[in-house]
Homo-oligomer: A and B are copies of this chain.
Amino acid sequence: MKRKNYSSEEIEKKLIEKGVQPTLQRIALCQYILCVADHPTADEVFDWAQKNMAKISQATVYNTLGVLTDSGLIRAFKFPHTEKIVYDCNIEDHFHFFDEKSGRILDIEADSVKLNLDLPKKYKVNSIDIVFKGEIK
């Protein structure tokens, strides 16, 4: 839901801030990933790219998604319902809701989930992944 409308300049600035060389391909892909897409997979990004920009290779899409993920501009998730890696421009701590009807993934804010754990003391938890599955009425 945090769909923004970044200009090329703003995206360029973001990339530089993160130490990523702002090439034409990367800026274009960011337009889609940061502004338009909703939890896209690599092939969705590639499909969009083929329709909306000059010739680009699949490898560049994968490279770029890797670079963006490593730089912390986006995050990569793996969900139980698909093999494909899903990318998320929401880099805050959060959980996910998978709508079994539509296949859509929705973000769940971290503070709408209160957890009360009773684990053995020696279990040191570094991070928690939660996926709710269900449907939206």
A129 at interface by CB-CB < 8 Å = yes
Is A125 interfacial (CB-CB < 8 Å)?
A: yes
Question: Taking the complex as formed, is A59 at the interface, i.e. its CB lies under 8 A from any CB of chain B?
Answer: no
Chain A at the B interface: SS class:
strand
Q: A83-B83, A130-B130 are in contact. Are A118 and B125 (CB under 8 A)?
A: no
The distance from the CB of A134 to the nearest CB of chain B, in whole angstroms, is: 4
Query: How far apart sit A15 and B77, CA to CA, in the bound complex (Å)?
Result: 36
Complex contact B125–A119 (CB within 8 A): no
Number of interface residues of A (CB under 8 A): 32
Give this chain's copy count.
2
In the complex, A116 has a CB within 8 A of chain B: yes
In the complex, are the beta carbons of A129 and B124 less than 8 A apart? no
- The residue among A77, A117, A125, A132 with the most chain B CB atoms within 10 A of its own CB is A132
Q: For the complex, what is the distance from the CA of A67 to the CA of B130, rounded to whole Å? A: 28
Could you jot down 11 A-B contacts, CB within 8 Å?
A77-B80, A78-B80, A97-B123, A113-B118, A114-B117, A114-B118, A124-B137, A126-B134, A127-B133, A128-B131, A129-B130
